[in-house]
Amino acid sequence: MDRVLRTTHTSRLSLSQYADGIFAGDRSVLAKAITLIESTHRGDSAMAAEILEICGDQTADSITIGVTGVPGAGKSSLIDVLGRHVITTCQEKVAVLAIDPSSRLTGGSILADKARMPFLAASQMAFIRPSPSGVGLGGIGPRTREVILICKAAGFRTVFIETVGIGQSETSVRDMVDFLLLVAIAGAGDELQGIKRGVMEVADMIAVNKADSSNVREAEKARAVAEIALHYFPPSASGWTPLACVCSACTGLGIGEIWSQITKHHGMLRQNGFLAQLRREQGLAWFHESIDRSLKQMFVSAEAVQKRLADIEKEVVAGQTTPLAAARQLLLLYDSDRQRRAKKRESLL
Ligand SMILES: Nc1nc2c(ncn2[C@@H]2O[C@H](COP(=O)(O)OP(=O)(O)OP(=O)(O)O)[C@@H](O)[C@H]2O)c(=O)[nH]1
Ligand SMILES: [Mg+2]
């Protein structure tokens, strides 16, 4: 029997409406399901868990590609042309998720992201979804893994994940994707300066973008620098040798090459068993993340914590207490509240 959750939100569907819509590849249902999964409303979590359960793990023949790089390097523009390549040459549907750890996502930048992906924004074969950082009270992280899973269930087997800003996001994205593409640009002399060594070390390919008009030679130089840098890193456990290329989202230069490297990498990892191992490791990381998130959710939604959290945050900011003492105080408060509730329940039995 269909169950409709009564929440404060509008436009919630029944479980079978969500499931049928997702499996039919209905993008509007997919968008609603993602909203539900990203919701921090307590009433939504049971339905979200059921949807995810039904979607199962459709990872077998899917590819997830992380795209990272300095702001303005051309990540969105490249995803647009790569996505077009996938749609037109492979007749495969493409999903694009943007992760924003810095809460940059406002209505304006969502529109900006879509404006940078004109082909995909207009294509019936594509689905673009910005994923907000979700950092609210207590900082529950984004549900990117879950969103990837339901995109795959909806038949979007090629999933691009654009990370915004260089920093923490691309190392966590490395944990979720099969292939990590680092988009670089030729700068004024210090080509890859803005890119932390750590990011280069985990990238499967470096694409020096904007290799067009008067910038071709600079881009080629930056590619050579990147290639030399790549030689200094230890070989990856998968047996893949990362490489650097030049490309242009404007002229289409290098796009076919990037896609063929992505599929080559996928084929190789599939054949040598590393893809299966990667998925197992990703599953384990997901398991731990899920526990972390659930515990934190329980903690921040506990009444005793909610009552005290805002004040204690202010005390930390004002230097009236140390962060460690404040955290300990809140955890003790949570624990004693939980024990009190348990005793009350026992006495009622
Ligand atoms: N000449 C040239 N310009 C490009 C190319 N790719 C992107 N651009 C331009 O570079 C600017 C930034 O492009 P985006 O695709 O938004 O870059 P991004 O890395 O996604 O930017 P953020 O998401 O803001 O970090 C835009 O003005 C693009 O038109 C390219 O290959 N050649
Ligand atoms: Mg972008």
Q: Look up the CATH number of the domain holding residue 168.
A: 3.40.50.300
> Do 176 and 320 have their domain in common?
no
From 272, 294, 313, the end of a domain falls on 272
| CB neighbour list of residue 176: distance below 8 Å, 6 or more residues apart | 64, 66, 144, 145, 148, 161, 282
pLDDT score for 11: 62
253 & 316 share domain: no
Task: State residue 137's pLDDT score.
Answer: 42
Say whether both 49 and 114 belong to one domain: no
Return the best residue to mutate from 67, 76, 77 for the ligand 1 pocket (most ligand atoms within 8 A of CB).
77
Average pLDDT over every residue of 255-267 = 97
Q: How confident is the model at residue 104 (pLDDT cuts 50, 70, 90)?
A: very low
291 lies in a domain?
no
User: What pLDDT shows up at residue 86?
Assistant: 97
pLDDT (tens digit per residue) in 330-349: 999 999 999 988 888 888 87
Tell me, using a 6 A CB cutoff, whether residue 300 lines ligand 1. no
State which residues form the domain around 335: 302-348
Task: Please tell me the total count of domains within the chain.
Answer: 3
Write down the residue that tokens 């996502």 correspond to. 105
| Residue of higher predicted confidence among 150 and 170 | 150
* Claim to verify: residue 131 and residue 156 sit in the same structural domain: yes
* Distance between Cα 192 and ligand 1 center (Å): 17
pLDDT tens track for 81-96: 999 999 999 999 999 9
pLDDT of residue 106: 46
Both tokens of residue 49? 């868990």
- Atom 10 of ligand 1, nearest CA residue: 74
Distance of CA 29 to the CA centre of its chain: 20
Q: Are residues 203 and 263 in the same domain?
A: yes
- The CA 73 to ligand 1 mean position distance, Å, reads 5
Ligand 1 in reach of 114 Cβ (< 6 A): no
Q: What is the CATH number of the domain that holds 19?
A: 1.20.5
Asked if 166 contacts 189 with a C-beta cutoff of 8 angstroms, the reply is no
118, 147: one domain: yes
Determine if ligand 1 sits within 6 Å of the CB of residue 77.
yes
Going by C-beta distance under 8 Å and a sequence separation of 6 or more, which residues neighbour residue 134? Answer: 38, 40, 140, 141, 142, 143
- Over residues 46-77, the pLDDT tens digits come to 899 999 999 886 556 799 999 988 888 999 99
Considering the domain architecture, whether residues 64 and 49 belong to the same structural domain is answered as: no
**Ligand 1 geometric centre to CA of 77 (Å):** 6
